[in-house]
Amino acid sequence: MRRLGLSALLAAVAITAAFGAPLSWRWNLPAGIMPPPVPADNPMSEAKVALGRRLFYDADLSIDGTTACATCHEQHRAFTEGNATHPGVGNTPGRRNVMALANVAYFNPLTWADPTQHGLEQQMLVPLMGSHPIEMGMAGKADELASRLGEDGCYHRMFAAAFPETEGRIDLANVTKALAAFERTLLSYDSPYDRYLRGDRTALSPAAQRGAALFSHGCADCHNGPNFTDGKFHHFRLPGQGVNDPARDRGLAEITAAAKDESAFRTPSLRNVALTGPYMHDGSVPDLADAVRAHTGVTRTERDVPDLVAFLESLSDRAFVTNPDFALPKTACGKGH
């Protein structure tokens, strides 16, 4: 057998460093889509993904046991939910519309308006521990979380399999790593639009094809790439909302305190957008057509709206929202469908 040359070895190391995932992990991606980045200290594994999936649906991750990640991220809605905003534990008011999770492994930064959120492991702490708003209400309760999970024999086995390097330690760090690993598997590349790109010329209706052409003029300035987001922050003020409206969401400026960042929000992905309403950062627009119309800076006519909507509807991936690998585990130890 031929030995690997130094350059090949260096290339392999570079790839591993860049993506952090063992080359053995099978991403099941279509041709042309690169694997998502994975932190070197949290490589993918089947055991970790299975654990993350169980944790994702476990409401013991909230202070009163009422709220799991899946409470707000419902699979049949492409991992969003149907309310404008979702109250946190104790019925505390929500602030922003729940973001979709399809292909979230590629997003950087994460969330609507926080440029410091660069990784899923870190971002998990926002709903878990955050107070602005309170979502799952676990601030200061990391030990209690570990204690709760530690009462379950299945979790002992699953953490041991997922984290042999820490002898299966049940703690917040491993919880967030497992959740992140599961969320990295939430890949959606089988919409009619994707099938059209792969050569199925029947996959898009004529209206959707016209909409795709229209979409490239303006919409794609921000909603571009395979996930229809540039990952950047843009000013977006809802029609009728004034710059001095005290009720407005300051968006990025809330973090940066810079006047230029007032009402700037990260471009959301449009994957499965027909399933993820209501729309906009505050969920104030219930209808996809009205969401198109709300983009006042983009040139289009009212006649264009149905075609644009038809195109956006072609981004719905039915296999993704019905994939049993992403659903609530039916067995106690989180395996099986």
Partner 1 sequence: MTRKIPIVVLFVLAVLPPGVVGAQEMSGMPAASCTKPAELPAALAGWTAKTPLASATDASRMDAAMLAIGQGASVTLHPTREVHYVSQPEKPGGSVAHGGMVAVAISASGTYQVSLDSGAWVDVLKDGTAVISSAHAPGPACTGIRKTVRFSLTPGRYAIQLSANAAPTIAVMVSQVP
- Nearest approach, Cβ of 91 to partner 1 (angstroms)? 6
Residue among 64 and 143 whose Cβ is closer to partner 1: 64
| Helix (DSSP H) and strand (DSSP E) numbers for the chain | 15, 2
User: Phi then psi for 35, rounded to 5 degrees?
Assistant: -60, 150
Q: What's the Cα-to-Cα distance from 229 to each of 232, 278, 312, rounded to whole Å?
A: 8, 18, 13
Q: Which of 5, 206, 240, 246 binds partner 1 (CB under 8 A)?
A: 206
- In terms of Cα–Cα distance, which of 307, 311, 315 is closest to 276? 315
- Nearest approach, Cβ of 22 to partner 1 (angstroms)? 18
Residues within window 119-138 making contact with partner 1, judged by CB under 8 A: none
Residue among 81 and 183 whose Cβ is closer to partner 1: 81
Q: Which of 182, 215, 279, 320 binds partner 1 (CB under 8 A)?
A: 215
- Nearest approach, Cβ of 301 to partner 1 (angstroms)? 17
Stretch that binds partner 1, among 20-28, 174-182, 210-218, 271-279 (CB under 8 A): 210-218
Residue 34 as a binder of partner 1 (CB under 8 A): the answer is yes
Give the whole-angstrom CA distance, residue 60 versus residue 76.
22
Residue 23 near residue 13 (C-beta atoms within 8 A): no
Name the one residue in this structure whose structure tokens are 């130094």.
6
* Encoded tokens for 34: 């690169």
Residues within window 165-194 making contact with partner 1, judged by CB under 8 A: none
- DSSP secondary structure string for all residues of 247-310: TS--BTHHHH--GGGTTEEEPPP-TTGGGS-SBSTT--B-SHHHHHHT-TTS---GGGHHHHHH
Residue 271 near residue 102 (C-beta atoms within 8 A): yes
Residue among 150 and 166 whose Cβ is closer to partner 1: 150
Residue 136 near residue 128 (C-beta atoms within 8 A): yes
Residue 120 near residue 318 (C-beta atoms within 8 A): no
Q: Measured on CA atoms in the order 42, 44, 50, 54, is the torsion positive or negative?
A: positive
Residues 76-105 vs partner 1: string with x where CB under 8 A? xx---xxx--xx-xxxxxx--------x-x
User: Phi then psi for 92, rounded to 5 degrees?
Assistant: -70, 145
Stretch that binds partner 1, among 9-17, 41-49, 121-129, 148-156 (CB under 8 A): 148-156
Residue among 109 and 168 whose Cβ is closer to partner 1: 109
Q: Which of 216, 296, 299, 322 binds partner 1 (CB under 8 A)?
A: 216
Stretch that binds partner 1, among 71-79, 235-243, 253-261, 318-326 (CB under 8 A): 71-79
Residue 38 as a binder of partner 1 (CB under 8 A): the answer is no
Instruction: Please report, as ranges, the residues that interact with partner 1 according to CB under 8 A.
Output: 32-34, 36-37, 57-62, 64-68, 70-72, 74, 76-77, 81-83, 86-87, 89-94, 103, 105-109, 148, 151-152, 196-197, 204, 206, 209-210, 212-213, 215-216, 220, 224-232, 328, 330
